[in-house]
Structure 1
Amino acid sequence: MNLESGKIGFIFDLDGTLLDNMDFFLRDMPRQVAQFYGSEFTPEMETFVKSMMFEAFGGSKLKGKTPILRAILKTAKLYNIPWYKRLQFLKVNYQVYKKGITNMSLIPGAEDMLNVLTQKNNFPIGICTTSSEEEIKLRFQNRPEFLDQFNGALIGRDTVKNPKPAPEGILKLSKKWGIPPNRLVMVGDFSADVEAGKNAGTTTIGVLSGFCTLETMKEANPDFIFQDVTKIPENLPDILNKIQESV
């Protein structure tokens, strides 16, 4: 079976994969919240925040429709926030989040990589993320044209019943494009991204630009591990060969 141009699709996670925003989530945002409450953001606090955000973005303990909200509530004890002030704590976090998230940079070179896939190879591209559809648009509030190239192929946690690591979002794009899962590539910085891809039957790429270390990503066992998404074009022949093996 030949791999005709346009018959392969690439699906990307967002945070830590296309967006270079890990420092914001793990350091800048909690540090600003700590300053609001007159607290010092210590290395111990950073470790705890990282563990909570790890679970929120793809771990096993904070599943559901509002994983980030639940993670933020768990971090309230870092700031010694009593239960009756937790609503204010959430509001402070949201204000910091909403102000900062619209200014996130892309992974350097990510846009060029997408151009190689779409303009040079005519591959459809999509996003499958644990963020809500509203949060996806919020991240690109100042540059909505970036999302235009995805032609509506945006899957957030609120557009599926079962978010990643379930394969539902990937299979939804598979149906939308009319491309079988074994001709799709799932790209993400988290073990949940890899697991979702495997559950759907796609080729999987793990990138190290987000939460996962090399060791953690190796445990997830994707088909490819790259430092970031900019390595996709130069490895495209190997990726296509891997897809060829599965069709």
Structure 2
Amino acid sequence: MALQHSDSKNGGVRRSGAAIPVFPVYLFDVDGTLVDSAPDICSSIQTILANTSRAEVDHPYLKRFIGYHLIDLFQDLFPEIPNEEADKLVSEYRAVYSARDHAATTLYPGVLETLASLPGRKSTATTKATATTRIVLERFGLLPFFDHVQGTDGFPSKPAPDVILHSIAVFGARPQDCLLVGDSAPDMEAGRRAGVQTCAVRYGYGDLVNMAQWEPDYWIDNLSELLPDTVQTSV
């Protein structure tokens, strides 16, 4: 799968002066939004690629795929790979990633404080499996702030809206009462398809130009901008 990419990390894609209202429900992506997990994710992938023809793949290339399903990455690296071989690589990755125990993963600034103070109900909406997501949240002290933990378990991953719709259903909420916060084009597309409001973070892994194509309702540079009475400034 070919990804559009731009080196632009700015460029008129922010909704100027827009205050973010309080939402009844907040849905959060995890990797690149709550935690900087790229060192663990990319190193785990490099470990399983070491004995393949693509051992040279570097972290910047791999970071572009965070937020997509791993199958998308392996099909991009190995266009002719059979499904069963791609599934095997995914399984190998998960074992290596789990063994790293998130040792190189860190919280983004403002995340803990924001989640502790942010009103409304909260759920994750991530491509990670639910069990893995729960481990990450617990490891970094975030689990108590979530009313529900939702990962991608046996249904299509983002940009399909399924993980968002599952969370909404658990809360019995209306899509228009929910704000999805994420760092990638798949997040923004999934949010649009689910009918929720969307907020793009500028500090994660996603390309801003690609995200802007889905016209996020809000852009932020720090998660604390979600807190009440925080007004975004113009670019």
Task: Tell me the TM-score normalized by structure 1.
Answer: 0.67
Compare CA radii of gyration and give the structure with the larger one: 1
**Distance in 2, Cα, partners of 1:32 & 1:126:** 31
**Distance in 2, Cα, partners of 1:212 & 1:31:** 20
Percent identity between the two aligned chains? 22
Q: Which has the higher helix share?
A: 1
| Kept after mapping to 2: 8 A contact 1:165/1:196 | yes
**Distance in 1, Cα, partners of 2:77 & 2:134:** 26
Deviation of 1:227 (Å) = 2.2
Distance 1:220 1:149, change over 3 A: same
- Which residue among 138, 145, 157 is the counterpart of 1:149? 145
Counterpart residue number, 1:106: 107
Q: Does 1:136 align with 2:149?
A: no
Gaps of 5+ in 1: 59-66, 78-84, 239-247
**Distance in 2, Cα, partners of 1:33 & 1:158:** 23
DSSP-derived class of the 2:26 partner: strand
**Distance in 2, Cα, partners of 1:197 & 1:92:** 30
Number of aligned positions between the proteins = 209
Q: Does 1:49 align with 2:72?
A: no
**Distance in 2, Cα, partners of 1:94 & 1:168:** 22
CA RMSD of aligned residues (A): 3.7
Distance 1:92 1:173, change over 3 A: closer
**Distance in 2, Cα, partners of 1:38 & 1:130:** 25
Distance 1:7 1:225, change over 3 A: closer
Larger RCO, structures 1/2 (Cα 8 Å, 6+ apart): 2
Distance 1:25 1:184, change over 3 A: same
Q: Does 1:123 align with 2:120?
A: yes
Which letter does structure 1 place at the counterpart of 2:200?
G
| Kept after mapping to 1: 8 A contact 2:188/2:216 | yes
Task: Tell me the TM-score normalized by structure 2.
Answer: 0.70
DSSP-derived class of the 2:35 partner: coil
1:13-24 maps to which residues of 2 (within 5 A)? 13-24=29-40
Distance 1:156 1:114, change over 3 A: same
